[in-house]
Chain A
Amino acid sequence: MAWLLALLQTLLFIASAPLLAGWLKKVKCRLQNRRAPSLFQPYRDLRKLWRKEPIVAHPASWIFKAAPYIVLSTTVLAASIVPLIAVNLPTAKIADVVVLIGFFALGRFFLALAGMDIGTAFGGMGSSREMTVSALAEPAMLMAVFTLAMSASTTNLSVAMNYVLHTGLVLRPSFVFAMLGMMLVAVAETGRIPVDNPTTHLELTMIHEAMILEYSGRYLGMIEWASQIKLMLYGVLIVNIFFPWGIAQNFSLQALGFGALALTLKLAALTVVLGLSEVLFAKMRIFRVQEFLSFAYLLSLLGMLSHIILEVRH
């Protein structure tokens, strides 16, 4: 029963990820006084890509073809271990939050290799930049996660969320810092403004898009879907770790429905914040990203230190 519910939750997760992307687009369009496409436009785009004939460059090896499958499966697997609308599901035990970061790293590794596979300058440039940005983001991400893990003395996401739920609404300086750090990391890792611009196709500013420039058809569709899931994953991590209230703690239909509703509202609100920041900020130069990410690391470190100094009792 619990495993079936976990499977259903994962399916819901990956099915609703394009919807979140559509909502983000809607928010941005409204903020920029543009007419927005339908909420369901990302689904139509994905369907179009899946039906198209993929084109693969001559020098490509099997890595180029395998990478989208690996990227999508690692992202789906990551989605399966993050509690979405209910905690205490058995899948959270398969992998903890450190392994979650490992999943992202595995997918990124293959995508970066695929970028190098064609032997053009764009792919290599994209791979180099993506790996650099993520290398700098990783310590900040882990530091933020460690703050949480040391407070809850677990790295299991489900147990950690339970811990936050049961301690109630207390203002912890460490959590505030960790959340800010994690939000900055999320912006960098999902390739949003100001670190990367997912809508650009100007070679010199691209990071993620340069790496996947050669992809088309269903391969591109898989990668797009995976990045939509990833965006939602970071959103769910932030709202469910730092504001877990409303998440279902038992598997009754009522609790699950309430959990889904609470999550939708929380994610919608977080997306508005993201959309606002995307509209207000301009994209940074690539060599300003290190300052952005070291600021994120500093915030997470402050979170860790304030946890150690203020919150640990002896």
Chain B
Amino acid sequence: MALFFAYLSVVAALASGLAALAVDKSPGLGRFAHLLLRRWPKLQVRAAGVFSEAHYAEFHRNSLFVLLGISGVSAVLAGGGALFGGAVTTDTLPLGLPWLNWHIRFDALSGFFYLLIGLVLIAVSLYGPGYVREFEHGRHPLSVLGLFTGLFVAGMELVLLADDTFFFVIAWELMSVSSYFLVAFQHEHASNRRAAFLYLLMAVIGAMAIILAFGVLAGFSGGLTFDHYRTVKLTPVWASVAFVLALFGFGMKAGLVPLHAWLPEAHPVAPSHISALMSGVMLKVAVYGFIRFTFDLLDQVLWQWGGLVLVIGAASTLLGVLYAMMQHDIKRLLAYHSVENIGIIFIGLGLSLIYISEGQQQLGALALVAALLHSLNHALFKSLLFLGAGTIIHQTHEQNIEHLGGLIHRMPKLAVVFLIGTLSIAALPPFNGFVSEWLTFQAALQASGIGGGVLRSMVPTSASVLALAGALTATCFVKLYGVVFLGLPRTRRAATCHESVHRGMLAGPAWLAGLCVLLGVFPTPMIESLNVVTGQLLGVTLPGASALGWLWLTPVAPEVASYSASLVLVGILLTGWVCYQLLYRRGGLEARRADPWDCGFGGLNARMQYTATAFSMPIRRIFEPVFDVEETIEEKKSGPGNFQNTGLHYQLRVSDLAWPYLYAPVARVVTWLSRWVSRIQTGNIRTYIAYSFFTLLILLWGIS
């Protein structure tokens, strides 16, 4: 049954893509419906109305997203079925190579990621109809957007279903290539084309590493299905080679430091609902690939792998949030936070690998659960924030947060929904981001049992990096929320905007916000269901997770650590209510409105507010070595002796160190190599004929 819904989800996504091609086919469809409904004149009139010029566009747009919504709902059903049913279903499709049909396997791990895709897809399908209207009259056809959205979603779902290398790689490439077209959708700007090209390049390099990683397994097992891989025994050296290749390939797609530089370029330039899918979901598919490869297919785990993943994860977490802090483009900021959150997930995975290599399966399961839960949480709140950012950009046409301000007065509902996303990503109790970070901390705190002293001190240190990153995330989101929603509007557009007229554009983020609160307050059922995943992958579960009942979360044992988010929420509400009753209801005076304090000078205006640049300046100064800062001040002087300052131009550019230190050298080497190779191109036809001749000669010699 779960597999049926999984197929249905893929088919609905593909159907949505195909339906997008019918964007300007209303006359043909109208005639077809007219013929089809000959017997029912009433329906005929209706169909004529739907397919008329006036209504067709809306009908078409809605039907695309209804199909995506069906795909999302069935993905949730499929994922729920696999996760709560606990069964593993396999299947082969009569497609693919003649000697290798497409193998399908749907287990709890796939089911969990299916659930994640489905939940976000539902939000996107609510959000989409209102959002894509603006593209309808633009120069880019909606059909391209719809087609590749459908293919992209189907590709991601097929990756989760694949159980042989051939099918996996095809699905993976379908996902990568269709998302390339989505990134390049608004290709009139050169920067977007550049970002899309970079994205495609990275995807190709990453896919190459993934294919090589599978190649190592295939070479030793003599087959291409994952079942072959599960049984093969590798030497530690070859296993490490396969692991490093997989970490490189999947890590590149997931956006781990230092391979992350494509991510903040590519994700923001896609339309916002696609950004939500890419940052919220596609990165998780890469995480899925890594988990599938390392925890399921490889037969052994070495502690060095865990240490490597832990260090890379901690670096991604810290650098991701520091670079995010310096961004003023709302979507770029969110994209850098994806790097951070992927880092947190990989910290969890690294801890899990370390514990498993030490033979402590129970703790390995705990860390894996933390990583999986954070994947889900990040999918929810990051998609929520991207959709919210999309609404802000849609309503104000401003992407730079320095041009916004005071939106809480003009978009009160969106402000509440966005605030929930902000609190969740900042890992504050009692929201969902906190639960998974808390579990990661708990996993890190059990390091006493680890053998090596280096590893034992590395684990708590990485936890303190996580603490620093968490606090910096809170800082960053105070900046984002404070500058965008609070204070005074900084431009006319921000002052005159209003809440979106499309209810779906609020309903999509609100659905995700509801899930964030739900998972934050009642995390235990979700963690219980993740036991099925760890049971299938590692053979152990967390029996004590709900030892005190479902209100309490006790990951290791009740006396080691316990957390009851629901009681925390009740406590906060109750205390707040008591204070309100005592201080205000009982004879408290009504607040009087007055002008803010202006030091007695008067004339405060919006330009005197603290800006985002000023807000993040202390962090920039403290962490200066990790940024590439270019700060210039030009003064214009005039008057006698150039004493009078008539103008001041301040320019600040903060960029990522990955560019000058990693990407630029690689690009230089590639350019140099291509120059060198290009020497064989003389432009002379006789030389080319000679090349062909000698190639033929060598080939013939080789054959004979």
Contact = CB atoms under 8 A, between A and B. Distances in A.
Contacts of B561: 96, 98, 154-156
B560 A119 contact: no
A53 B486 contact: no
Contacts of A101: 467
Given A74-B572, A94-B564, A304-B460, A102 B429 contact: yes
Give the interface SS of chain B, mostly helix, strand, loop or mixed: helix
B589 A54 contact: yes
A76 B589 CA distance: 24
B237 interface: no
A155 B560 contact: yes
Contact of B488 (A54, A59, A138): A59
Contacts of A120: 596-598, 604, 608-609
Given A73-B576, A116-B486, A120-B596, A150 B445 contact: yes
A105 B615 contact: no
Contact of B597 (A52, A69, A127, A213): A213
A27 interface: no
Contact of A63 (B408, B471, B568, B609): B408
B423 interface: yes
A119 B406 contact: yes
A290 B622 contact: yes
A142 B589 contact: no
A301 interface: yes
Interface in A69-84: 69-70, 72-74, 76-77, 80
B564 A93 contact: yes
A194 to B, nearest CB: 17
Interface stretch (B338-346, B577-585, B655-663): B577-585
Interface string B128-160: 000000000000000000000000000000000
A114 B548 CA distance: 38
B487 A116 contact: yes
B593 A93 contact: no
B563 A139 contact: no
A281 interface: no
Contacts of A276: none
Contact of A56 (B429, B574, B591, B598): B591
Q: Which of A69, A112, A116 has the most CB of B within 10 A?
A: A116
Interface in A184-240: 213-214, 217-218, 221-222
Contact of B486 (A58, A63, A65, A221): A63
B211 interface: no
A116 B478 contact: yes
Classify chain A's interface size: 35 or more
A54 to B, nearest CB: 4
A57 interface: yes
Interface string B95-126: 00000000000000000000000000000000
Interface string A134-160: 111111111100100110011110010
A51 B465 CA distance: 45
A134 B471 contact: yes
Contacts of B474: 105, 108-109, 131, 135
Contacts of A137: 471
B464 A139 contact: yes
Contacts of B590: 53
Interface stretch (B377-385, B434-442, B530-538): B434-442
Contact of A102 (B428, B457, B562): B428
A218 B594 CA distance: 16
A308 B453 contact: yes
B638 interface: no
Interface string B440-484: 011011111001010011001101110110111011011101110
A13 to B, nearest CB: 13
Given A77-B568, A94-B564, A113 B478 contact: yes
B654 interface: no
A62 B406 CA distance: 12
Nearest to A102: B429
B619 interface: yes
Q: Which of B427, B478, B481, B564 has the most CB of A within 10 A?
A: B478
A80 B574 CA distance: 13
Given A57-B593, A73-B575, A121-B610, A154 B567 contact: no
B596 A118 contact: yes
Contacts of B463: 142, 146
Q: Which of B470, B596, B606 has the most CB of A within 10 A?
A: B596
B617 A128 contact: yes
Q: Which of A51, A137, A142, A150 has the most CB of B within 10 A?
A: A142
Contacts of B215: none
Contacts of B594: 55-58
A61 to B, nearest CB: 5
B571 interface: yes
Interface in A83-106: 93-96, 98-99, 101-103, 105-106
A150 B429 contact: no
Given A120-B608, A150-B445, A287-B621, A98 B438 contact: yes
Nearest to A57: B596
B593 A58 contact: yes
B250 interface: no
A140 B610 CA distance: 29
Given A99-B563, A109-B474, A119-B596, A69 B460 contact: no
Given A56-B594, A128-B614, A312-B456, A72 B575 contact: yes
A131 B612 CA distance: 13
A4 B610 CA distance: 47
Contact of A94 (B568, B593, B615): B568
Nearest to B451: A314
A179 interface: no
The 3 closest A-B pairs by CB, nearest first: A124-B610, A116-B482, A119-B487
Given A56-B592, A58-B596, A119-B606, 11 more contacts: A69-B580, A73-B574, A74-B572, A113-B481, A117-B482, A120-B596, A127-B615, A131-B474, A137-B471, A297-B464, A309-B453
Interface of A: 50-59, 61-63, 65, 69-70, 72-74, 76-77, 80, 93-96, 98-99, 101-103, 105-106, 108-109, 112-113, 115-125, 127-129, 131-132, 134-143, 146, 149-150, 153-156, 159, 213-214, 217-218, 221-222, 286-287, 290, 297, 301, 304-305, 308-309, 312, 314
26 contacts: A53-B590, A54-B592, A61-B415, A62-B408, A63-B408, A93-B552, A93-B564, A99-B434, A105-B428, A113-B482, A113-B486, A116-B481, A119-B606, A120-B598, A120-B609, A123-B610, A124-B615, A128-B618, A135-B475, A146-B464, A156-B559, A156-B562, A159-B560, A286-B618, A308-B456, A308-B457
